[in-house]
Structure 1
Amino acid sequence: MPSPHRIDRLTAADFPDAVKGLAELLVDVVDDGASLGFLAPFDHEAAASWWRTQAPAVADGTLAVWVSRDGMTGINGTVSLAFSGKPNGRHRAEILKLMVRRDARGQGIARALLATAEAAATAAGVTLLLLDTRTGSTAERVYAADGWTRFGVVPGYATDPDGSLEDSSFFYKHLDTPVTPAGA
């Protein structure tokens, strides 16, 4: 049976129309305590304003943004891929802002978004991906299960929306090397 969710890469032309849905998603995950760089209270206008600041990077291709949509509620997930602008870093990119709306979790959307970003990175010639996430989070388990390697933890690196300092785990994934699952 086909998935009820569709994943699309946002173009510079359609990015402005997606800002409202992206803002609603961002508010939902921050309200749920996600450590994404924002503090509570966090409202829709602040979220929309932040997303609008990303438009130039989407337009110049240094940031790729995908959204997951379903037929009823609109945008229910997103992930971004930031390409390195450094001449010695063209082989690497960073996964940013992987998030899924609370009522859409547990359906494989995060993994599908992550796989989409990884495939696009590979197609763009990227061989190394990096990301960070809150230590002990569900996201950390998703990355580890998908073949990412944790290379360190920084105590007190980020804060939760309530301002509490949280440890962050840093991961990498080589895209040019097949990953063998543990126990295989």
Structure 2
Amino acid sequence: MTDHPVTVRALSTAEAAAHNDALCDILIDCVEGGASVSFMAPLDRARAAAFWRGVAVGVERGERILLVAEDAGGPVGTVQIVLAQPENQPHRGDLSKMLVHRRGRRRGIGAALMRAAEDAARAAGKTLLVLDTASGDAERLYERSGWVRVGTIPGFALWPDGGLCATTFFYKALA
């Protein structure tokens, strides 16, 4: 596969709607590939599309930032920063749904999405980010990106095929 330059940018509500099909492709591919990202297999397009429409509503309300990584073939990865937090946590954001299509893996796209997410969170006034991940999925990426592992809860979620998986929690203080 030829490596194409990748750009990462925030999507507006209208752009999120326009990219719904491509975002569905990424989410469905990740679930089919075994990623524990809140959905069970098989994930049909209607459920995936409804999820992304909800994300677009969150973008419109200012509750989240949706970032997309694009190469010459179009969107290949995505991540969100959930800005809407309880009133006693206005400084915190949640990094959510870090997804890279299998066609884009091992190209630094995850790291680029992480850097862009941290920058977007800082620009939104956040000083602390937290995330959780199915243990073993992307832990190495998060640790290389300077995130601190807090701990692991066994049997926290299900793999898309139904087996229990542990979940590891991380945080990062933003300078």
What is the letter of the counterpart of residue 108 of structure 1? G
Paired with 1:4 and 1:106, the residues of 2 have a C-alpha distance of 13
Given residue 57 of structure 1, which amino acid in structure 2 is its aligned partner?
G
> CA shift at 1:124, angstroms?
1.6
Give distance in 1, aligned partners of 2:171 and 2:84: 15
- In the TM superposition, residue 96 of structure 1 has moved relative to its aligned partner by 0.3
More displaced 10-residue stretch of structure 1: 29-38 or 55-64: 55-64
Where does residue 9 of structure 1 map in the other structure?
10
Query: Deviation of residue 4 (structure 1)?
Result: 1.1
Cα distance between partner residues in 2 of 1:75 and 1:42: 19
Residue 87 of structure 1 aligns to a residue whose secondary structure is coil
In 2, distance between residues paired with 1:136 and 1:6?
27
Could you say which residue in structure 1 is the equivalent of 2:77? 77
SS in 2 for 1:33: coil
Equivalent residues of 2:85, 2:92 under 8 A apart: no
In the alignment, what sits opposite 2:170? 171
Letter in 2 for 1:54: V
Q: Structure 2: which amino acid aligns with 1:143?
A: Y
Cα distance, 1:45 vs structure 2: 2.0
- Give the ranges of 4+ consecutive aligned residues of structure 1 lying more than 6 Å apart after TM superposition: none
Q: Look up the SS of the partner of 1:95 in the other structure.
A: strand
Query: Secondary structure in 1 aligned to 2:13?
Result: coil
1:160 matched to 2:123? The reply is no
The alignment status of 1:105 with 2:100, answered yes or no, reads no
Aligned-CA RMSD value: 1.3
Q: CA deviation at 1:56?
A: 1.5
* SS of equivalent to 2:88: helix
Contact 2:63 2:83 in 1 (8 A): yes
Retained in 1: the 8 A contact 2:157–2:164?
yes
Offset from partner CA, 1:56-86 (integer Å, 9 cap, x none): 2110111100111111x21100000001332
Q: Which moved more, 1:78-87 or 1:113-122?
A: 78-87
- Provide Cα deviations, 1:24-45, integer angstroms capped at 9, x if missing partner: 1000010000000101111222
Alignment of 1:20-169 (within 5 A): 20-71=21-72, 73-137=73-137, 139-169=138-168
Give the aligned residue type for 1:104: G
Per the normalisation by structure 2, the TM-score is: 0.95
SS at match of 1:154: strand
**Deviation readout 1:73-127 (Å, 9 max, x if unpaired):** 2110000000133221110000000111101101100000110010111122211
Q: Percent identity?
A: 42
Give TM-score, length-normalised by structure 1.
0.90
Which letter does structure 2 place at the counterpart of 1:129?
L
